[in-house]
């Protein structure tokens, strides 16, 4: 396999993970209506797509709000840059990040999968050539 084919293979592997600003996904819990209850601590967040807009602003970040007094996560979801720049409320910590699934405890999984896929592809094509 040529180096250009290997590079193409790695780019395909990287494109399978959502790159920042392209197909952002975030963990979401306690955002918006529908459920009728609040999940304390957001222990079971779901993966949500952040492809839309809110009040004319693109959803470009993942957000987590954390209550310092209650010592628990209040919400997770998609956010605009305006949400991330707002002043925090007393006792509430707001954090934002801009790559897929970064507002959960396992934000690095997508990156690890891409790197491992790239190495496996390289090893496979290297062994095929010898």
- This prediction's pTM: 0.61
Q: Are 9 and 16 in contact (CB under 8 A)?
A: no
- Compute the residue count for the chain: 130
Return the structure tokens found at 130. 């010898």
- Per-residue exposure over 31-65, b if at least 16 CB sit within 10 Å of its own CB, e if not: beeeeeeeeeebeebeebebeeeeeeeebbbbbbb
User: Which residues, other chains included, contact 29 with Cβ-Cβ below 8 Å and sequence gap of 6+?
Assistant: 39, 42, 44, 45, 46, 73, 75, 76, 77
- Would you give per-residue pLDDT tens digits along the chain (130 residues)? 676 666 555 555 555 454 544 579 999 998 665 555 566 678 888 999 988 777 777 888 999 999 898 888 989 999 988 888 876 778 889 999 988 899 986 544 555 555 666 678 777 777 787 6
Instruction: Delineate the domains of the chain, giving CATH numbers in brackets.
Output: 20-106 (2.10.60.10)
In 3-state terms, what secondary structure has residue 60? Answer: coil
CB atoms within 10 A of CB 10: 17
């Amino acid at each position: 396999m040529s180096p250009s084919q290997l590079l193409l293979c790695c780019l395909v592997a990287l494109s399978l993970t959502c790159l920042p600003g392209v197909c952002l996904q975030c963990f979401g819990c306690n955002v918006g209506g529908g459920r009728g209850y609040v999940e304390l601590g957001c222990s079971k967040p779901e993966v949500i797509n952040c492809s839309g807009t809110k009040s004319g602003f693109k959803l470009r970040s993942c957000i987590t709000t954390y209550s310092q007094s209650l010592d628990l996560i209040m919400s997770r979801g998609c956010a605009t840059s305006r949400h991330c720049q707002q002043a925090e409320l007393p006792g509430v910590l707001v954090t934002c990040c801009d790559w897929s699934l970064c507002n959960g405890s396992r934000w690095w999984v997508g990156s690890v999968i891409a790197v491992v896929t790239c190495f496996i592809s390289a090893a496979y094509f290297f062994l095929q050539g010898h």
